[in-house]
Amino acid sequence: MARPTILVVSYFAHHPWGPRGLRTRAILDALAREWDVTLVGGPQGDFARATHPAGRAADFARYKLHEAVGIDLHESWSKRLVRHWPNRPDLVLVIGYPFSPAVEAARTFGAKGVPIVVDMSDPWVLTAAHPAMGRAGLWRARRAEQRLWSVAAGAILTTHRQERALSSLFPHLRTLVRPNGYQPVGSGQAATTLRAQDGELRVGHFGNLYYPRVGLAPFLALLAESGLWESIIFEQFGNDWNRTLDAVPARVRVRAHAPAPWDRVLELSRELDVALVVGNVNPAQMPSKVVEYLTLPIPRLALVAPPGEDAITDYVADKPGWLAVRADDPDVARAVHAHLDRRWTTRDLAPPPGESWPEVGREIMDFLPRFLAPEPRTAALREEAVTQTADAV
């Protein structure tokens, strides 16, 4: 039998370190075993632009314009490539953000009867508490998202909170909740000797800081004011897009570093006491680094918004090495000190095998065949048999 054909649309497929690029490649690796796959990805040079300060500033200006009237920054690309796609695949999988490729896929392939599955890591407008869009842009986005989920056959979400919100509006959707994964590491990479607390606390954050995140400066101030450590160093590996670190108290020493590939992160983390993830204000979202941090050879800490129940706390409840703390908890310093005072072993911190990228790709691949239409020849034979039965009657 011929292998089914699938069109995978992922604008950020070529981003080497970005979560959507990693996710896309894990899914493509899994699909290649059983499907004929065609990938439609954005321009490869877009990653360099998106991570360069000058390009980021230009994109921010474009974003403010699109915020007023558009769906997202990549709407014109989506219309140009996706809307006019010449072939008819058996299935379309769209991996977002951005949202516009999914909108155009629904418009183009929905009219042709091609099943569409949308893998969306972020809520858009219908399930977002406070969409950051102008009136015209919000009106267009609501109409486009309503049409998208009405046409889509299935949805893949990264948190159960996103899934519950979306299913309440579109109960016909068949859904899968599958967060991102981690790149497996060798046992030699995972082995480590943990630093003992010696009066100095070294906190590492791997990733970008920007406005949807929980406030970081008040948390660091509480650690400094506690007197539990003689000095605190905050190591930031990534961009600080909205100058979050400018508000960090002077008692906390900040060291800024360029983003690093994950094999380098594994080495750098050995000089730290704890790895911090700064959660989102939106409780339905979970930064992908929460999963990747499972491979770090040090304890993990998540800073979450009040009341402290969100997608991060849901996920890390049964995961090793994690402590989730509320940003407004006055006893947060004691909780962190006790967490780091524990005798952690390499075994304690080992990542669960089921959360690796190969497992993520396999789980998503296993979800997709249910959306395929019956094999054409089988359907034709079934229709012929029904006709013959009717004639006999």
- Give the DSSP letter string of 295-326: GSSS-EEEEE-TTS-SHHHHHHTTSTTEEEEE
- Percentage above 90 pLDDT, the chain: 72
Domain 187-353: which CATH class?
alpha beta
Whole-number Å distance between alpha carbons of 14 and 47: 8
Question: Above 50 in pLDDT, residue 386?
Answer: no
Residue among 208, 185, 191 at smallest CA distance from 260: 208
Give the span between the Cα atoms of 354 and 179, in whole angstroms: 11
Instruction: For the chain, give every domain's residue range.
Output: 5-181+356-383, 187-353
SS3 content of the chain, % helix, strand, coil (to 5): 45, 20, 40
Q: How far apart are CA 6 and CA 39, in angstroms?
A: 9
**Cα separation of 351 and 321, whole Å?**
9
pLDDT tens digits for 147-186?
Answer: 999 999 999 999 999 999 999 999 999 999 999 999 988 7
* 181: Cα within 13 Å, side-chain hemisphere: 24
- CA dist list (Å): 267 to 6, 188, 276, 296: 38, 11, 16, 9
Q: What is the pLDDT of residue 59?
A: 57
pLDDT surpasses 60 at 17: yes
- Say yes or no: do domains 5-181+356-383 and 187-353 share a fold: yes
Mean pLDDT, range 70-78, rounded to an integer:
88
Residue 130, pLDDT above cutoff 90: no
In the prediction, which pLDDT does 64 show? 55
> In whole angstroms, what is the distance from residue 162 CA to residue 150 CA?
17
The pLDDT score that the predictor gives to residue 160 is 97
Q: Which top CATH class is 5-181+356-383?
A: alpha beta
User: Strand, coil or helix: what is 179?
Assistant: coil
Q: How confident is the model at residue 346 (pLDDT cuts 50, 70, 90)?
A: confident
List pLDDT tens digits, range 248-287: 999 999 999 998 888 899 999 999 999 999 999 999 999 9
304 neighbors 284 (Cβ within 8 angstroms): no
Instruction: Name every residue whose Cβ is closer than 8 Å to that of residue 184 and which is 6 or more positions away in sequence.
Output: 295, 356, 357, 358
Q: Which long-range contacts (CB under 8 A, 24 or more apart) does 182-188 make?
A: 182/291, 182/292, 182/294, 182/295, 182/351, 182/355, 182/356, 182/357, 183/22, 183/262, 183/292, 183/295, 183/356, 183/357, 184/295, 184/356, 184/357, 184/358, 185/266, 185/295, 185/351
Count Cβ atoms below 10 Å from residue 48 Cβ, excluding itself: 10
Instruction: Give the three-state DSSP class for 231.
Output: strand
* pLDDT single digits (tens) 187-243: 655 445 455 557 999 999 999 998 889 999 999 999 999 999 999 999 999 999 989
Residue 5, both tokens: 């054909």
| CA atoms within 13 Å, Cβ hemisphere of 171 | 1
Residues 19-30, mean pLDDT to the nearest whole number: 96
Q: Which two tokens stand for residue 289?
A: 């680094």
| Mean pLDDT of the 361-371 span | 97
Q: What is the reported pLDDT for 77?
A: 93
What is the token pair recorded at 37? 């796959």
**Is residue 50 pLDDT above 80, yes or no?**
no
Asked if the model's pLDDT at residue 384 lies above 80, the reply is: no
The mean pLDDT value of the chain amounts to: 88
CA distance 35 to 122: 27
Helix (H, G, I), strand (E, B) or coil at 160: helix
In terms of pTM, does the model score above 0.75? yes
The pLDDT of residue 58: 52
Q: What is the pLDDT of residue 273?
A: 95
Q: Rounded mean pLDDT of 119-147?
A: 89
Phi first, then psi, for residue 39 (nearest 5°) are -105, 135
